[in-house]
A and B are shown apart, each in its own frame.
Chain A
Amino acid sequence: MEQVSTLERILRGIAISFVIIFFMFPILWIFLMSFQTNETILQVPPQLFFEPTIVNYEGLITGQLETAAGSLKIEFMGNLFNSLFLSTAAVIVGLILGVPAAYAFARLKFKGSEDIAFTLLSFRFAPPLLVLLPLTIYFQKIGLADTYVGLIWVYQLIVLPLILWIVRGYFEDIPADIEYAYRIAGHGFWSTFRKIALPLAGPGIAAAGLLAFIFSWNNFIFALVLASADKQPVTVGALAFITASGINYGQIAAGIVLSIAPTFALAMYAQRYLVEGLSLGAVKG
């Protein structure tokens, strides 16, 4: 076994610390900011020690934003609910559509299947703005603009390619013989899909679902253009903190903490699945 010299170990430690600080500091700072008032935040130089306050969280939860210019109503909790509802619904729809499709692409090599799969992936290449303008016009014509259904539909642009390509890789990894064996034992196509393919690709489906949830939670541009106040998710709702009388850093920070908390917790909980799912998707894709 190779011995790592002391110097190398120290240098390695410094490098790792640097990376951690670089990436984690903003999150830590936001977390600290969320417990400060605008006055303490804007102090120069910044204070490391301060009197923590939960006024920001209070404001968010009650929906009353107290500013220097007076009180303002905001819909933060509504936004949080919208985010949760939109992302969950988008992922459920994405899984219902994407998992069978992924199975078809993995197992039934039909004419043009590769092209269709690639076209679906290519949705991820185009900047969302490219499709947004025509979509907005269509949606207004057919009455889908500013509806949950319309948003969930558009979210499929994010969710579906992701689920399709990750889950497909997992389906392809199941030895075909195992499915053949189940068929030959006397079970039909659907039963084989349900009892063999789905359980064996389970971790992949879970990973894809989690990733899709995080991606749709973080989406901003679709909701900005297609949703009005009462359908907006947190990402868009945070804009309300930029008011005529100034930017409420404290509340923004509290809002950010609340809005990243669910995805952060999910990511922590399912870390292993996520890494597996992502790397597998990368290899297969």
Chain B
Amino acid sequence: MSLKLTNITKSFKDDLVLNQVSLSVEKGQTLVLFGPSGAGKTVLLRLIAGVIEPDDGTIEIDGLDMQGVEAEHRGIGMAFQNFALFPHMDAHANIASPLTARKQTKDAIEAGVQKLAKLLKIDHVLSHQPKELSNGQKQRTALARALAGEPATLLLDDPLRNVDAKLRFEMRLELPRLLKDQNATVIYVTQDYKEAMAFGDTIAVMSGHGIQQVGTPADIYLSPGNIETARLFGDPVINLLDVRPEKGAQGLQVQISQTPVSIAEGYSNAVDTDCILGIRPEALRFVDKDMPGAFPVIVEAETPLNEKTVNLMRTVNGRELMLSRPAGSPGPSEGEAYIAVNTSDAMLFEKTTGNRIEPLHAAAKSGDSA
């Protein structure tokens, strides 16, 4: 285990920021810390970097307890969200700073800087001061600086947040390869679920002072641990409806639009409790009226969203639903319509706690075919 956090707690004055956070990352793996702003992601990175100390808990890097180890001795590279370039040094000196700290020879420093600058395509602006660089160049300089010391642990604090859309897109493609080449243990902070899914071997979802769920990107998307996580992942956001599962003629069912809709048999333990049904917009589809499980809605609007088309609809009871389908696929843009959902794609959450109800496994399988 390359990096291991155990029960990290940190508060600033009376504000609890992190409460009993535990995490571990294997060597060479990328862990994405994903969560809304204020969730404590940046604080966690700073704790790992050693520029602030936790109130409680331990941080281990390569099996060594980092308590009392100064930031400069932790073998870490870090890129900051606001770049944090040294404003009085040119790009070259910025990138070279981890190398000068290691007292390397002039030639070694020069070679190291040139190699990274070429790789990140900033070799033509090395003599520029930070204020003369574009945002994209700043971001690449900051990244080069983080990589220059060939750190065993790399902390990237939302490095793509402050760059324009085109560059963000390019870097989303380049960065994972670059990180793999470094063979470093990477912690990548982001608020963008697409970035999280693209970069992470593992994703840790943070909110409310702690980690909600840790899992592979597919895990997090397909079986979010609670409503919070389900809501954070996905665009448009997941549809959430208040329901009360009941036993009907066709097995387990819920009422949507005053129509019974089957859900997986595995949820039998949730019968007659208040629940929230979560359906991803892409799990809904337009169907014919006679199709089993079809329920009526009123389509209110249609919006193109990149490669998708999103419909905003209302159920008979006036609750909002969103449906997303590939752009260009047929579907009504307004008026009455019928939609359906695959039984296996509907998730149930406890209304009181917001936690996802785990379907009983064997039953879930048989429900799949329905």
Query: Across the interface, do A177 and B84 meet the contact criterion of CB distance under 8 Å?
Result: yes
Tell whether B71 is near chain A: CB-to-CB under 8 Å.
yes
CB interface residues, B 122-145, toward A, < 8 Å: 145
Tell whether A127 is near chain B: CB-to-CB under 8 Å.
no
Chain B residues whose CB sits within 8 angstroms of the CB of A133 once the complex forms:
none
Chain B residues whose CB sits within 8 angstroms of the CB of A188 once the complex forms:
70, 72
Tell whether A185 is near chain B: CB-to-CB under 8 Å.
yes
Query: Across the interface, do B101 and A187 meet the contact criterion of CB distance under 8 Å?
Result: yes
Contact for B145 among A177, A185, A187, CB less than 8 A: A185
Q: Compute how far the CA of A225 lies from the CA of B49 in the bound complex, rounded to whole angstroms.
A: 55
List the A residue with the shortest CB-CB distance to B95. Answer: A185
Chain B residues whose CB sits within 8 angstroms of the CB of A182 once the complex forms:
86, 97
Please, how many residues of chain A have a CB less than 8 angstroms from a CB on the other chain? 18
List the A residue with the shortest CB-CB distance to B103. Answer: A186
Query: Across the interface, do A186 and B98 meet the contact criterion of CB distance under 8 Å?
Result: yes
Q: Compute how far the CA of A191 lies from the CA of B103 in the bound complex, rounded to whole angstroms.
A: 13
Given contacts A186-B101, A187-B72, contact A181 B145 (CB under 8 A): yes
CB interface residues, B 97-156, toward A, < 8 Å: 97-98, 101-102, 145, 148-149
Q: Compute how far the CA of A180 lies from the CA of B84 in the bound complex, rounded to whole angstroms.
A: 9
* Closest Cβ–Cβ distance, residue B15 to chain A (whole Å): 14
Query: Across the interface, do A184 and B82 meet the contact criterion of CB distance under 8 Å?
Result: no
* Closest Cβ–Cβ distance, residue A267 to chain B (whole Å): 26
Query: Across the interface, do B72 and A186 meet the contact criterion of CB distance under 8 Å?
Result: yes
Q: Compute how far the CA of A169 lies from the CA of B200 in the bound complex, rounded to whole angstroms.
A: 41
Query: Across the interface, do B80 and A181 meet the contact criterion of CB distance under 8 Å?
Result: yes
CB interface residues, A 149-200, toward B, < 8 Å: 175-178, 180-189, 191, 196, 199-200
Tell whether B77 is near chain A: CB-to-CB under 8 Å.
yes
Query: Across the interface, do A178 and B84 meet the contact criterion of CB distance under 8 Å?
Result: yes
Chain B residues whose CB sits within 8 angstroms of the CB of A199 once the complex forms:
88
List the B residue with the shortest CB-CB distance to A191. Answer: B101
Chain A residues whose CB sits within 8 angstroms of the CB of B77 once the complex forms:
184
A199-211 vs B, CB cutoff 8 Å, 1 = contact: the mask equals 1100000000000
Query: Across the interface, do A183 and B70 meet the contact criterion of CB distance under 8 Å?
Result: yes
List the A residue with the shortest CB-CB distance to B49. Answer: A184
Contact for A184 among B72, B85, B102, CB less than 8 A: B72
Chain B residues whose CB sits within 8 angstroms of the CB of A186 once the complex forms:
72, 97-98, 101-102, 149
Given contacts A178-B84, A200-B87, contact A185 B49 (CB under 8 A): no
Among A176, A183, A200, chain B packs the most CB atoms within 10 A around the CB of A183
Given contacts A196-B86, A200-B88, contact A183 B72 (CB under 8 A): yes
Given contacts A178-B87, A200-B88, contact A183 B51 (CB under 8 A): yes
Offer 8 A-B interface pairs, CB within 8 angstroms, sorted by A: A177-B82, A181-B84, A184-B50, A184-B72, A184-B76, A186-B98, A186-B102, A191-B101
Q: A178-B86, A183-B51, A184-B74 are in contact. List 15 more A-B contacts (CB 8 A).
A: A175-B84, A176-B51, A178-B87, A180-B51, A180-B71, A180-B84, A181-B78, A181-B80, A181-B86, A183-B50, A184-B76, A185-B72, A186-B97, A187-B97, A191-B101
